Structure 1
C-alpha cells in the first residue's frame, strides 16, 4: 500500500471516528428523533455527504453508535478478573463495575433508552452483539455453577436473570434520579447518596445469590 493510500485510509478512519463521537453526543442529548444530522456533521468537522457515504442514513449511524457502545461495555467486562476472586468479591466486583460504568458513561443509558423506544429495531439483527452478549452470560453462568458446586451460591440462579437484575437496580437509579429526588426528597447524585446506594445494591445482590 502506497503512502498516499495509507494516508487516505487513516484520514477516512479519523473522519468516521469524529462522526461517531459527535453522533454519540447528539443522539444521547436529543434522542434518535430529535438528533440533527447537520449538528453531527458540524461537530465532527465533516459534511453530510461523508456521513451518508460512511453510514448510509441517520438510522445507520445510530445503529453503529449503539453497537459500538454495547461492545464497549462488553469489552470492559471481559477485563474483570472474576474467575480469580472469592465468590462474594466477584459478585461485588460485577455490581460495582456496572454502577461505575453508568456513572462514567451516562450516554450509554440515554442511547439504550432511545433504542427501547424504537423497540430495539436497530440492534435486533446484530450478530456481533448477540455473540458477545451470549459469551458474557455463559461466563457468568460458569461462575455461578462453580460456586454452586462449592456450596456458596444458590443453585437456582440464572445468569441472564442475574445480569438483568444487576443492570436494573443500577440503571433505574440513574434514569429516575430527577423524579426520585422530588418524590423521596433527597439528592440522588451527592457523593454520600451514591455511596449509600451502591452499598445497598451490592448487599441486595449478595443476599439474592449467596447462601449465607
Structure 2
C-alpha cells in the first residue's frame, strides 16, 4: 500500500515537469497561445480589468513565464495590439488590389474591411479599449505605425490609378479615404447593441448585414467616383 502511494506521488511531478518542458521547448507556440488568450481578455475587460492571473490559468502557464516573454501586463497588452493589427494588414496584402481595375479594387477593399470587422468583434473591442486609453500604448509602437504604411500606399495606388483613368474624382486624400472606410465598417460592430436597441434593429441578422454591407460599399464608391 505504501509503495503504491509513493509511486503515485513520484509520478505526479514527472507529469508536471513534462508539461513545463513541452512549453519551454516550444516558446513560439507558448507565446502565440498567451497572445490569443490575452487578446480575448483585454478585448472583453480592457487593460484595467484584465488579470494576468486569469491569463496564466487559461494558458496553463505561469505569471513568471508571461512576464519573461512580455515584460509586464502593459507589455503583453501592447503585443496583443501589434499582433491584431499585423493580422489585418497581412490579409489586406493578399487582396492583390493592384491586379484589379480601380473601382473593383476599391469595392473589394471596402468589402474586406466590413467583413473583417464583422467577424472579428474582439478586434473592435481592443481598438475601443485603446481609444479609452487615448492611444497611450499604440503610440509607443513604431511597429503598428509601420504596418499602416503599406495599407495607405495600397489605397493611394488604386485611387491614383482611378483618377488617371477618369473613374475617380481628383482632390481626395488616401488617409481620409481609409478613415471613411474604417468608420463605416467599424460603427456596424462597435454600436450594434446601442443602435440596435434604439432603432429596434437586429444588426446581427444575415439580411440586415448583407444590406448594410452593400450600402457601405456603394457609399464609398459613389463618394470617390467622378
Larger radius of gyration: 2
Q: Note the C-alpha offset of 1:107.
A: 1.0
Alignment correspondent of 1:4:
none
Instruction: Encode CA deviations 1:92-126: one digit per residue, 9 max, x unaligned.
Output: 10010001111221111000111111111112122
CA distance in 2, matches of 1:37, 1:188: 33
CA distance in 2, matches of 1:51, 1:8: 12
Q: 1:10 to 1:156 in 2, by over 3 A?
A: farther
TM-score by length of 2: 0.87
Instruction: Encode CA deviations 1:108-156: one digit per residue, 9 max, x unaligned.
Output: 1000111111111112122222222122212211211111111110111
Structure 2, unmatched stretches of 5+, are 1-21
Alignment correspondent of 1:164:
179
Alignment correspondent of 1:3:
none
Matches within 5 A, 1:86-97: 86-97=101-112
State yes or no: 1:206 paired with 2:221: yes
- Deviant stretches of 4+, over 3 Å: 7-10
Out of 146, 149, 170, the residue aligned to residue 131 of structure 1 is 146
Alignment correspondent of 1:190:
205
* CA RMSD after TM alignment: 1.3
Matches within 5 A, 1:1-212: 10-211=25-226
CA distance in 1, matches of 2:191, 2:108: 24
CA distance in 1, matches of 2:225, 2:25: 50
CA distance in 2, matches of 1:48, 1:65: 16
Which segment is superposed worse, 154-163 or 121-130? Answer: 121-130
Q: Note the C-alpha offset of 1:9.
A: 6.4
8 Å CA contact 2:85, 2:144 repeated in 1: yes
CA distance in 1, matches of 2:173, 2:146: 18
TM-score by length of 1: 0.93
CA distance in 2, matches of 1:148, 1:56: 48
